[in-house]
């Protein structure tokens, strides 16, 4: 998978028309002997208004799937 991020401007020079795209591994948290706690990876794209335009791959933090992480920190 291609890694990285970028902004595309629908109107050149107008930052308010920006679409932000992020690709790759965002977060991976493992607990030695306990396995995977958080795994956010894939493609995430946000429109100028902050709306999610594209979401592929698991996003445990974004979706709120944090029970294992919270338990490990308790």
Which is it for strands 4-9 and 18-31: parallel, antiparallel or unpaired? antiparallel
Q: What is the pTM of this model?
A: 0.64
Structural domain boundaries in the chain: 4-73
Per-residue pLDDT at 1 exceeds 70: no
SS3 state at 14: coil
User: What is the Cβ-side half-sphere exposure of residue 63, based on CA atoms within 13 angstroms?
Assistant: 13
pLDDT digits (tens, 9 = 90+) for 23-70: 999 889 999 988 899 999 999 899 889 899 999 999 998 889 999 889
Structure-block tokens of residue 15: 């930052």
Burial degree of 8 (CB within 10 A; 0-12, 13-18, 19+): exposed
């Amino acid at each position: 998978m291609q890694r990285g991020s970028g902004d595309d401007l629908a109107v050149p020079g107008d930052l308010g028309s920006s679409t932000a795209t992020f690709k790759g591994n965002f977060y991976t948290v493992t607990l030695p002997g306990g396995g995977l706690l958080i795994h956010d990876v894939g493609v995430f794209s946000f429109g100028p208004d902050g709306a999610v335009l594209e979401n592929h791959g698991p996003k445990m933090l974004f979706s709120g799937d944090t029970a294992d992480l919270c338990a490990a920190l308790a």
